[in-house]
Structures are given as structure tokens and as C-alpha cells.
Amino acid sequence: MTKLNKVLSLLILVALAVSCGKSSNDNFTLKGSVKGLKKGVVYLQKDGDSSIVDLDSMVISGQSEFTLHTHIDEPILLYLKLFKNDGAEHYIPFFADKGVTEITTSLKGFNYDSEIKGSKQQELLKEYLSVLSRYNDKNLDIIEESFKAREKNDSIAVDSLNRLADHLIKRKYAYTIQFAMNNKDSEIAPYLALYETRNANPVYIDSIYNSLNPEIKNSLYGKKLSEVIANRNSNN
């Protein structure tokens, strides 16, 4: 038995163990397909207190379609993970809510070719990320130009590009904060405040939290944001 087959055999046993633990109370279904995938294991995962938690899994052997299930109490960010024993990490994050989410992607571009249809929170996340990608592309351009300037020992150009990079970061934070406040009635708002504005001025983080309606403040990410703010204030 080859090393690959041994690894896959072990993962199949683990996947079966996880799948056998499914509850009749499942209220979330992930349907998906990975074009070009013939063998591997797909996992449905979430963030735990200190590590990633497997919620369900399925062995892929010949077919490219899969269905995974779990129970969720409220909208939450989940992950679709693909294991294909190539030494790389293959994850697709998505915002899930009760019901059905569909993900289609390809083996070659697993992370980048994904099309996700599901929750309204996912639609907002997609909208946010589509704009954020422009800032990230611009940042890559600045990094490239800065590298060229350093090679030429052009300190004036380097300083100018550094200022441009700092300005871009501020613009990205401003966009994120405004997007969160514009969607204060969605779980996406506290989620972005928690994970996309870590180094922003605390005043803006507080503004996002204070703008949330009571239901969102009482959500998973609303409570986490409240804890972060409380811990910060207690240390000041």
C-alpha cells in the first residue's frame, strides 16, 4: 500500500467516524461539487475555542458531488476544507445560516473558483470581499514598485510609496468600518469589526458596536465583540 493510500485510508476512517455522529437535529446542509476531483476528503468545519472543529465529512471516490450536514444555532462562518494530500491547505470560508448553501468550484482553483449561493450574510460578505480585493491588488502594486525602488536605491520613491501604502490601509479600514455600520442589522457587522479592523482606532470599533441593533449585539459575533471591547477597556 502506497503512502498516499495509507493516508487516505486513515482519513476515510476518520471521515466515517465524523459522519456517523450526525444528529437528526441537523438544520444546515452544504451541497457542493469540485470539478476534476476524483479522490480526497471534504470537511465541513468551524472555529473552536483553540482549534478548528470538524462538523461533518465525506470521502470523495470517483464522484465530484458531496453533501454535508450540521446543526447551527445562528449565522456563523464555516469552512469547506479539501484534503488531497498535496501538502497545501485548501479552504473556502463562507457565512452559513439555517437551510441550504451550495458551493461549486474546481480542483485546480479550489479557493479562487468557488461560487457560493446561500445566506444573506454570505451575499454581504461577497460584496465586501469584492471591493476589498481592489485594495489588495493595489497594495500588491505598491509592494512591487517599492521593491523596484529599493533595488535602485531610490529613497525618495520608497518614502513616497510607504506613504501611499499607509494611506491605502486607512482607506481600507474606512471602507470596512463604513460597510459594517451600513449593515448594522446583520451579523456581518460585528464579524468585520472583530476580524478585519483589529488595528483600527478603538473609537471606530466602539461606534460599530454601538450602532448594532439588540438582536445583533446578542449574536455570536456581537457577544465576542462586546468581550473584546470590555477586555480592552479593563486594561486601560
Asked if 54 and 6 touch (Cβ cutoff 8 Å), the reply is no
- 104 sits in which H/E element: strand 99-106
Helix (H, G, I), strand (E, B), or coil: what is residue 130?
A: helix
CA distances from 3 to 8, 18, 21 (A): 9, 23, 28
Q: What are phi and psi of 76, to 5 degrees?
A: -155, 150
Question: Quick one: 3-118 is in which CATH superfamily?
Answer: Immunoglobulins (2.60.40.10)
Please, what are the averages of pLDDT over each run of 10 residues along the chain (236 residues)? 49 48 81 93 93 94 93 97 85 96 95 94 97 94 95 94 95 96 97 92 95 97 96 84
The answer to whether the CB of 188 falls within 8 A of the CB of 128 is yes
Residues of the chain with CATH 2.60.40.10: 3-118
Enter the pTM of the model. 0.85
pLDDT at 63: 87
Q: What pLDDT does 23 receive? A: 64
The CA distance from 208 to 178, in Å, is 9
Residue 89 confidence (pLDDT): 81
Task: Quote the CA–CA distance of 157 and 152 in Å, as a whole number.
Answer: 10
What's the half-sphere exposure (Cβ side, CA atoms, 13 Å) at 156?
Answer: 0
